[in-house]
Amino acid sequence: MRAYCPHSPMVGVGWVEGWRLTFAGEGDMGWEGAVTTIVESPGDRVFVSLYDVHPWDAAQLDEVEGVTAGAYQKLTVRVSTLEGDLSAWVYVFDGYEGGMPTAWYLSEIANAAEKAGAPDDYVSDLRQRPTRTSSPEI
C-alpha cells in the first residue's frame, strides 16, 4: 500500500466476518500464480488492514488492482474492529476461485498480516497453504 497509495495511512485492523481468503486467476492475465481474493463463506473470517484512502490514491489502486481492466470488482463489506463495525471496500476477483499462489506471494501476504498484528494461528495457517513454487532458501 505504501508504494501505490502514499497519501493513505493505515488506520486500523479488523475482521471481515462470513468471508474467507482464497486464491483465483491462476493462468489468467499472465500472472505467475493465483492472486488473493475473498469469497463469502459463513463461519469464516478474513483479517484485514484498514486504510484511509485518499481520492488520488483510490484511482491509482483501482488501476493497479485491475478494476479498470475488469479483473477485480470493488465491493463494500462490513469490518468488525475493536471500536465497532465499519464499512470498507475490498477488491474481489471477478472470476472463478482456484489455483495456487507462488511461494513468494503467499509469504508477502503472511508477512503483512503478521506485521499488522494478525493472530499467530491465522498467520501460521497462511504460511501452511500450498503454493505452486517452493519457498526460497534463506
Give the residue among 118, 108, 104, 94 at the shortest CA–CA distance from 45: 118
How would you write the pLDDT of the chain (138 residues) with one tens digit per residue? 778 788 989 999 999 999 999 999 876 655 678 889 999 999 999 999 999 999 888 888 888 777 777 788 889 999 999 999 999 999 899 888 888 999 999 999 999 999 999 999 999 999 999 998 755 544
Q: How far apart are CA 121 and CA 124, in angstroms?
A: 5
Domain-embedded: residue 15: yes
What is the extent of the structural domain holding 38?
Answer: 10-101
CA distances from 21 to 36, 55, 90, 123 (A): 7, 26, 12, 12
Catalytic residue flag (residue 114) = no
Residue 57 falls inside a structural domain: yes
130 within some domain: no
Identify the H or E element spanning 124: helix 120-127
pTM confidence score? 0.85
Q: What is the pLDDT of residue 134?
A: 54
Catalytic residue among 26, 65, 97, 114, which?
Answer: 65
CATH number of the domain where residue 35 is located = 3.10.490.10
Amino acid 138: pLDDT? 46
Q: What is the pLDDT of residue 16?
A: 98
Residue 30 pLDDT:
54
Find, among 124, 73, 91, the residue nearest to 16 by Cα: 91
Domain count for the chain: 1
Three cell numbers, residue 127: 504460511
Under DSSP, is residue 107 helix (H, G, I), strand (E, B) or coil? Answer: helix
Q: Is residue 117 part of a domain?
A: no
